[in-house]
Structure 1
């Protein structure tokens, strides 16, 4: 069974207008929380996701480990697209 992340809430927690970096905290349907880091393109102004960190409030929904893993990195772009829809 493939993992299908579904964003239920997203909010921007920091925004640096000077250098175009911002971050948001995202809550997924399975109660997993992630922090996404974005960098705005200076020409278009569109944010590109640069990094994703899973917050250690729930075990990983993919491998069920309760410590640092990189399983959600494969879904970074999907989660970022869904999260930006909540912000706009």
Structure 2
């Protein structure tokens, strides 16, 4: 059974509007939280993602830093775009 991330919330953590950089906290349905960095120009693009160490990784089950979430960047970006998560987070 392969892991399928499902975003339930996206929250703005910080931003540098001058440079078009935004940092968001992504919460998944399984309780996993990730910190992601987006660049706004010319369109929204995720430049980095790292899992916050509040629970073990749902992919490799390690309780320390891993890079498993980088495999799912495309799927996460698609969900963010489809559900307009960025617009919702910035509006708050």
Given the two structures, how large is their TM-score scaled by the length of structure 1?
A: 0.88
Match of 1:67 in 2: 64
Query: Equivalent residues in 2 for 1:1-88 (5 A)?
Result: 1-41=1-41, 44=42, 46-84=43-81, 85-88=84-87
Q: CA deviation at 1:77?
A: 2.3
- 1:38-74, Cα deviation, whole Å (9 max, x unpaired): 1122xx4x21100001000010000100001111110
> Are the aligned partners of 1:9 and 1:83 in contact in 2 as well (CA < 8 Å)?
no
CA distance in structure 1 between the aligned counterparts of 2:61 and 2:2, rounded to whole angstroms: 14
SS at match of 1:80: helix
Query: How many corresponding residue pairs?
Result: 85
CA distance in structure 2 between the aligned counterparts of 1:64 and 1:87, rounded to whole angstroms: 28
Q: Which runs of 5+ in 2 are unaligned?
A: 88-92
Report runs of 4+ in structure 1 exceeding 6 Å deviation.
Answer: none
Q: CA deviation at 1:8?
A: 0.4
Bigger relative contact order (CA 8 A; separation at least 6)? 1
